[in-house]
Structure 1
Amino acid sequence: MRKKILMLSTFTLFASALAVTVKHERGTLELKTPAKRVVALEYSFLDTLLALGIRPVGAALGTQGGDRGAPPYLLARVKAIPATGSRAQPSLEMIAASHPDLILADALIHQDLFPQLAGIAPTAVFQSRRGSLEDLNAQTLAIGQLVGREAAARRLLAEQQALINKARAFAKKGAPPLVAAVVTPKSFTVHTNESFVGSYLESLGRKNQLPVKDGQTQYEVSLEGLVALNPQTLVLFTAPDETPVTDIWKKNPLWQKIAAVQRGRVYQFNRDNWTRGRGPLALRLMVAETIQSRLLQDAAPSGEFRYER
């Protein structure tokens, strides 16, 4: 009997050592053991899991609700992962059919779905869509803890910081602040210093001109509003298969009054990779492209990143 009690006590201690407790946007999530079957409802979660060597049992890869699907840099990595609807319209039935022991959800997009998701499996909610680089880094560590890969997550963050430190060496001291914006056929949405890409570019040594406005890390402006801001440097995130609204603006004399246009300091990047992945894999791509574009040096953009539409 003493031997059985000892074995039970040892098992209890072992299970206790494996237990995970993580704070998230909806409180604290406790798992008795690290999750093995994870469903990711945002691309940043999917990016992070893949970077940690974890293949989710389901992910929001669908195109329902106008979603463009997975960013190009992720496409080759997600072919065998079952889709559980789109990010904006996840399928509760498909999620349940994946038998997850952890669901990763976004604080903004999935706020109304949280009770239903939590009814399927333990659910951790993070500030992905509206998070800063700091928020996304904290998310990487939390996901690493939830899946039993904390050491790997810390290594990813250390490697990422080393890349950022190297890239900062290219940054021109005293370069003028920039305005960064996602451009679609119908909208021009600026990303402030607390958005993901805004704070990322600041981490590399380029000051973002715009602070948070009325609690919004991202907000739309018109051509007249952009002219009023008159940025010295303009960073545009566009999609290669779309005609951005700036194509129309270029025909307006106001466009030529913008200092960045006059200086030849308008840079262009693929918004699918830059503003939708928001994870360790995306960051590696972004650091390389930032250096190649010559944005950090405040030099005229190289051909691939020059806005010439």
Structure 2
Amino acid sequence: MKSSLKWVGIVLILIVTAACSQQEEESAPSGEAQGIEVQHELGTTTVPENPEDVVTLELGVTETVAALGIKPVGVADDDRPERIAESTMDVIEGYKSVGARSEPSLELIRTLQPDVIIADVDRHEAIYEELSAIAPTVAVVNDTADYQDVLTATETIGRALDREDETEELLDEHQEMRKDLKESLEDVEGNVLQAQYTESNIFEAPTSSFFMPSFLEEAGLEYALQNEEETSEDLTIEQLLKIDPDTLLLTKNEDDPSVKDQLQDDKLWNQLTAVKEDRVFELNHNDWSRRRSIPAVNERMDQMKELFAAGN
């Protein structure tokens, strides 16, 4: 009898121990076990799985987040929502503006109680600790990004949002489009330069280290302004003439006057090969400079085909 009771007691102890162990596992703090570790430009950050409330602090970041199917609760939009692409606005309409990209409002971001913040390393490194005190913050290169930086940032954002499958699909589609573009540009001759004309009679030209020029090189074109240290250079008309690009892409804001009209009587301007060969194209500055994302360049590929077909 005592032996039977002894065995019953042992069984009960085992059952209770197993139940307690299971309960402890179920009630264990979620913390790191349920979070996602994301390596980024300013360190490693643990973000929650499937974050829903996201704040984005750079235009290219906002476009990427939208392309991955997430509507940010807060966006640094410079109080210029018209600069957000229609394809992105279709996803994010109704977001809360958190101010300028260069100086977002920490107070507004705090009120949104985000799950994660996606910042730009160049613009926001100085306030990274403050942002991190509000929510897990991941920093990527976008403001001064080249094409490879944007590819890396896209993968980082995808991991931070727990959307790696969607990110892989986005990048695979992009690579197919880029391959097709490169094949279509194989017979293009001469070099190309992108620039924005300013009121001080200076051409602000992005270099080969900046996003769109570096993408043009990936597409097989020769870019006329090589610089591994700086992302842009200021050129006088004389300096532009020394470079003398075969194709000139002039970016301007929506309300800016035509540069070709302004300079049509300028003697040096008319000596440019691109001018003489009618290969000067005026393009939207927002689309060709501010928008540094894979969705943005995808939207420009058909236009690139048209531009360079017209220039040859």
| 2:209 is equivalent to residue 194 of structure 1 | yes
Match of 1:307 in 2: none
**Is 1:31 aligned to residue 31 of structure 2?**
no
Alpha carbons of structure 1 residues 161 and 96: separation in structure 2 relative to 1, 3 Å = same
Structure 1's unaligned 5+ residue stretches are 302-309
CA distance in 2, matches of 1:117, 1:69: 26
Task: Work out which of the residue numbers 284, 306, 311 in structure 2 matches 1:300.
Answer: 311
Distance 1:282 1:174 in 2: 23
Alignment of 1:112 onto 2:132: no
* Contact kept in structure 1, 2:252 and 2:283, CA below 8 Å: yes
Query: What is aligned with 1:135?
Result: 149
Q: What RMSD in Å do the two structures reach over aligned CA positions?
A: 2.4
> What TM-score results when the alignment is normalised by the length of structure 1?
0.86
Aligned length: 294
Contact 2:72 2:92 in 1 (8 A): no
SS class of match (1:61): coil
Amino acid at match of 1:148: D
Would you say the 8 A contact 1:43–1:276 is kept in 2? Answer: yes
Structure 2, unmatched stretches of 5+, are 1-16
Match of 2:84 among 55, 64, 71: 71
Task: Quote the Cα distance in structure 2 between the aligned partners of 1:54 and 1:41.
Answer: 15
State the shift of 1:173 in Å: 3.4
Q: Which moved more, 1:105-114 or 1:52-61?
A: 105-114
Written as runs of structure 1 = structure 2, the 5 A alignment for 1:1-309 is 1-9=17-25, 18-63=34-79, 70-73=83-86, 74-173=88-187, 175-186=189-200, 187-212=202-227, 215-243=229-257, 247-293=261-307, 295=308, 297=309, 299-300=310-311
TM-score (norm 2): 0.85
Higher helix share: 2
Aligned-partner Cα distance in 1 for 2:41–2:75: 20
Aligned identity (percent) is: 27
Whichever residue aligns with residue 267 of structure 2, its letter is P
Q: Structure 1 residues 158, 183: closer, same or farther in 2, change over 3 A?
A: farther
1:60 and 1:274 mapped to 2: Cα distance? Answer: 19
Q: How far apart are the structure 1 equivalents of 2:67 and 2:125?
A: 26
CA distance in 2, matches of 1:217, 1:8: 54
* Distance across 1 between alignment mates of 2:279 and 2:207: 19
Partner of 2:13: none
Secondary structure of the equivalent of 1:86?
coil
